[in-house]
A and B are shown apart, each in its own frame.
Chain A
Amino acid sequence: MTIYGKPKVRFVGGDAIHVDFCDEISLDCNRRVHAVYYAILNDLREGRVLDIVEAVPAYSSLTIFYDPRKVRHDSLTSYVSKVFEYVITQPLNELVKPRVFKIPVAYGGEFGPDFNDVLKITKLTAEEFIRIHTSKEYTCYMLGFTPGFLYLGDVDDRIAVPRLETPRTKIPAGSVGIAGKQTGLYGVESPGGWRLVGRTPIKTFDYRRTPPIPIKPGDLIRFYAIDCDEYLKLKDKFVDEVQ
């Protein structure tokens, strides 16, 4: 794996600069993405940088969308380089202050239609799988593709299973899945190809709230197992209410 000494910058579309920090999915690299992202948000909040329409972080990269009437790619590139130079001199935990969220999950049965297949592939018992999946805090690498989808990782190698060959067309909100070293949570109903092992009864994404989801890139998630009764008791509570 390579974390680039200097991020690689690409200019696309005449209104976006795309910054790659490494060429693999790794926590170290992802932390760097988040550090730069939050440094940019700080600058925006305090008016030190203007004319950025939106900054969007992903696993190993960050894209800045800008208004070319006001700023051009060359000056934004020197701005990003400066932010990067600053960020690498700072302790990472100074820039990214993760919040920890506890998320209840009902495993198997109708909540996790792929649970039994996953046990077969991993040769684990249900108890062993649940113990491993709930044993650590996962980092939220990014949110994306659909509203509030959480890309979390890394899972223990023993429960890393490949995604489905044929994606499902409809997955209920709250579904928890696994795809390779990643575990994910569907914020809204959507299509998707992750192997579904369980579902949370709580709402993590509510478009009526601002922000619609309190979990941000870089935050930490810990799952805990619940039974059917608890599932019904917690149904549709917002994630903030059960912390």
Chain B
Amino acid sequence: MDHVPTIKVLKSFYSSIQDLGRYGFRALGVPVCGAMDKLSAAYANALVGNDVNEALIEVIGGNFVFEVLRDSLIALTGADSKVTIDNIPVKVWSSVLVRKGSVVVVEPPKRGFITYIAVDGGLDAEVVMGSKSTYVRGGFGGFEGRLLKPGDVLSTKDVRLKSVFKLAGSYEVPNEVVERLPDSNTVLELKATEGMHVDLLGEDFIELLKNVYVVDVSSDRMGYRLKGEPIKKASKLGRLISIPTNRGYVQIPPDGQPIVLMSDAQTTGGYAVALVLTQRSVDVLAQAQPGQRVRFKVVSVEEAEDENAKYLELLGNPPLIFKEGEESYY
């Protein structure tokens, strides 16, 4: 199949190409990477008829502008941002047919933090160890192993099937998926099991569960830093023997301020792991803007397994709701 230039980046603050992650190489120190809010990414792809693991654009904090270089079916999901196509507002969590030459603007998010942009056919990107995800620190994957910048031209498979274009605007995403976005007026509750170092934290573990933390502005794709009452015990633990780590691990470094590891998490680490978030909770936390208040809620391993199983089912096959008779293209 031919590949055609499809998207030209005109403005970008912090965006990269991602898919659902790079698995199987963590024993060699290679992080998983992939979308921060995987469910939103899977839905963006589903809305344009792509495989859920197809490469798409992840935009953190909005401020992304691009020109469409061929008639395309495009879906935006994730954060609640004002999105315009040639100055006309369009809905997020829906697909839209965009004509060649149109300019799409993603403004800074009102609620949520990360936007996914999927295009029919899926983005071409460097496949590294089975994944198209960008790992910026390692300089590989995605688009030249780096963040996108103005002038970059992204290609796609040239699908342009009428049957695919018919998808435009005719499907909706279930409310419970859209409404996962954190509300800045309330404290976001994150479900987690106890981590492997709970015993080392003693009484301070109870404190960790009582405290309300604030997502710090220094957060990134590797970890979200939380600020709040420090966990005092952490300063006495020193450096532990490094163990394998994962997205969702809540580490307590010596300064006592928790760090939640995210998609670019290092593969091993030597800080105490107090809690481990469920995968759904990591997705939701990913959408928290700096300043969001969060607290942890401990669940049993069985409850976490049930929730993860449900989440993975959804991720693998995101159900869409058919919507009849709506104006379906821009």
Q: Is the CB of B29 within 8 A of A61?
A: no
Of A23, A37, A54, most B-chain CB atoms within 10 Å: A54
Q: Which of B27, B135, B273, B302 contacts A56 (CB 8 A)?
A: B27
**B241 x A60 contact (CB < 8 A):** yes
Determine if B312 is an interface residue (Cβ-Cβ < 8 Å): yes
- One of B18-26, B67-75, B93-101, B251-259 at the interface: B18-26
Bound-complex Cα distance A65 to B276 (A) = 13
- For B302, the chain A residues whose CB sits under 8 A away are 14, 72
**Which B123-181 residues have a C-beta within 8 angstroms of A?**
128-129, 135, 137-141
Closest Cβ neighbor of A180 among chain B residues:
B239
Which of A93-101, A139-147, A153-161 lies at the binding interface?
A139-147
The complex places the Cα of A158 from the Cα of B151 at a distance, in Å, of 55
Task: Find out whether the CB atom of B27 lies under 8 angstroms from the CB atom of A217.
Answer: yes
**With contacts defined as CB atoms under 8 Å apart, how many contacts are there between chain A and chain B in the complex?**
151
A190 partner, pick from B28, B137, B248, B308, beta carbons under 8 A: B137
Q: Which residues of A contact B25 (CB under 8 A)?
A: 211-212
Q: Could you give, for residues 8-41 of chain A, a 1 whenever the CB lies within 8 Å of some chain B CB and a 0 otherwise? A: 0011111110101001110000000000010000
How many Å from the CB of B297 to the closest CB on chain A?
13
In contact, B193 and A14 (Cβ under 8 angstroms):
yes
**A49-69 with Cβ < 8 A to chain B:** 53-63, 65, 67-69
Q: Do the beta carbons of B301 and A142 come within 8 Å of each other?
A: no
What is the predominant secondary structure among interface residues of chain A facing chain B?
loop
Interface residue? B10 (CB, 8 A):
no
Task: Give the distance in Å from the alpha carbon of A58 to the alpha carbon of B137 in the complex.
Answer: 22
Contact stretch, chosen from B104-112, B230-238, B263-271: B263-271
> Which chain B positions have C-beta within 8 A of A145?
29, 242, 266-269
Check B26–A14 contact: CB distance below 8 A: no
Q: How many residues of A contact B (CB 8 A)?
A: 51
Q: Please, which residues of chain B bring their CB within 8 A of the CB of A207?
A: 30, 128-129, 138, 140-141
Most chain A beta-carbon neighbours within 10 Å: one of B27, B128, B129, B279:
B27
B138 touching A13, Cβ below 8 Å: no
A205-240: contact bitstring with B at CB < 8 Å (1 yes, 0 no)?
A: 001101111001100000000000000000000000
- Alpha-carbon distance between A60 and B243 when the two chains are bound, in angstroms: 8
* Complex interface residues of chain A between 110 and 136 (CB less than 8 A to chain B): none
Check B268–A144 contact: CB distance below 8 A: yes
**A15, B29: Cβ atoms closer than 8 Å:** no
B209 touches A (CB below 8 Å): no
For the complex, give the distance between the alpha carbons of A168 and B268 in Å: 19
List residues 220-249 of chain B with CB under 8 A from any CB of chain A: 241-244, 246, 248-249
* Contacts known (A68-B309, A210-B129); A15 close to B279, Cβ less than 8 A: yes
Which chain B positions have C-beta within 8 A of A217?
27
- CB <8 Å contact, A61 and B243: yes
A residues less than 8 Å from B129 (CB atoms): 207, 210, 212
- Closest beta carbon of chain A to B27's beta carbon, Å: 5
A198 beta carbon closer than 8 Å to chain B = no
With an 8 A cutoff between CB atoms, is A188 at the interface?
A: yes
Distance (whole angstroms) from the CB of A147 to the closest CB of chain B? 5
Contact between A58 and B303, CB atoms less than 8 A apart: no
- A212–B25 Cα distance when bound, in Å, is 9
Residues of B within 8 A of A104 (CB): none
B277 within 8 A of A: yes
Q: Does A177 sit at the interface, judged by CB under 8 A?
A: no
Q: Quick one: CB contact mask for B287-330 with A, threshold 8 Å, 1 for yes? A: 00000000000010111111111001100000000000000000
Chain A nearest CB from B133 CB (Å) reads 12
> A73 contacts B305, CB within 8 Å?
yes
Q: Once the chains bind, are A58 and B23 in contact (CB under 8 Å)?
A: no
A34–B160 CA distance with the chains assembled, in angstroms? 50
Knowing A69-B312, A212-B25, A212-B30 touch, does A18 contact B243 (C-beta < 8 A)?
A: yes
1/0 per residue, CB under 8 A from A, across B1-38: the answer is: 00000000000000000000001111111110000000
**Is the beta-carbon distance between B24 and A14 smaller than 8 angstroms?**
no
CA A99 – CA B138 in complex, angstroms? 26
A15-B305, A73-B305, A144-B244 known; A56-B26 Cβ under 8 A:
yes
Please state if B28 and A211 are interface contacts (CB–CB under 8 Å).
yes
Give the contacting residue for B278; candidates A14, A56, A151, A187; CB below 8 A: A14
Find out whether the CB atom of B241 lies under 8 angstroms from the CB atom of A25: yes
Roughly how many angstroms separate A148 CA and B277 CA in the complex, as a whole number? 27
Say whether A54 contacts B266, CB under 8 Å: no
**Least CB separation from A59: chain B residue:** B241
Give which listed residue, A55, A67, A190, contacts B312 with CB less than 8 A: A67
Q: What separation, in Å, do the CA atoms of A58 and B269 have in the docked complex?
A: 10
A146 proximity list for chain B (CB < 8 A): 29, 137-138, 266-267
9 nearest A-B pairs in the assembled complex, by CB-CB distance: A14-B304, A144-B268, A13-B276, A56-B244, A63-B244, A68-B305, A12-B276, A207-B140, A14-B305
A-B contact pairs, 16 of them (CB 8 A): A13-B193, A16-B246, A54-B27, A56-B26, A59-B243, A61-B244, A63-B244, A63-B246, A68-B308, A68-B312, A145-B242, A189-B139, A207-B138, A210-B129, A212-B30, A217-B27
